[in-house]
Copies of this chain bind each other. A is one copy, B any other.
Amino acid sequence: MPRVSQAHLDARRLQIVDAARARFASHGFARTSMADIVAESGLSNGAIYRYFTSKDEIVVAVCEQGTEALPNALTTEAVAGFLEHVRVRARDTDHARLVAQIYAEAAVSPQLAVIVRQQLAAGRAAIAELVPERRRAHAGQIAEAFVALCASYSQQIAIRGDVEPAPFVAALMAIIEG
């Protein structure tokens, strides 16, 4: 299609990223071939390389939208609302698996580490805002433990296969409310 709308281009790009994310979550980055992404997206090899110049670029795109969902852009929400958000995410086993892949790759790739680090920093800042007044002195420390707990719970879920976030949420509340 020549001279298509920007909306069309955006949709195609998202179509590729969605397909890649699904495969990355279930099989990992390395075990996902470009052929897999081609098949999952329903597009062709050549079409994908029109939107991304390499597989690595697709990995970056997936990571950029992959970790933001956990603790981000929620400064106006209440603590309870955020916990519900975490609970829902925690039930999403595919998302947990994806996060596991992202952390592992970031541990090895400096480029990805920068991206993940930025998103974690934003998450910590948002959480620190949620800490009650009387504990504000320890806000940074609490945010640290909070993000750590979120991240690790994803790992746990991904490995265990079952999802029971109740004790997790209880632990979070204990940390936040003291």
Chain A interface residues toward B at CB < 8 A: 26-31, 96-97, 100-101, 103-108, 113, 116-117, 120, 140-141, 144-145, 147-153, 155-156, 158-161, 167-168, 170-171, 174-175
Are A108 and B27 in touch, CB under 8 angstroms?
yes
Question: Which residues of B are found within 8 Å of A120, using beta-carbon distances?
Answer: 156, 159-160
A141 to B170, CA, bound (A): 9
A159 to B64, CA, bound (A): 15
28 contacting pairs across A/B (C-beta < 8 A): A27-B108, A28-B30, A28-B107, A29-B30, A96-B107, A97-B108, A100-B106, A101-B104, A104-B105, A107-B158, A107-B159, A113-B159, A116-B159, A117-B159, A117-B160, A120-B160, A141-B170, A144-B168, A144-B171, A148-B149, A148-B152, A148-B153, A148-B155, A149-B149, A151-B152, A151-B155, A152-B153, A155-B155
A116 to B30, CA, bound (A): 20
A31 to chain B, nearest CB (A): 7
Question: Which residues of B are found within 8 Å of A141, using beta-carbon distances?
Answer: 167, 170-171
A42 to B152, CA, bound (A): 36
Supposing A141-B167, A145-B168 touch, asked if A158 and B27 sit within 8 A by C-beta, the answer is no
A120 to B162, CA, bound (A): 14
A21 to chain B, nearest CB (A): 14
A147 to B156, CA, bound (A): 9
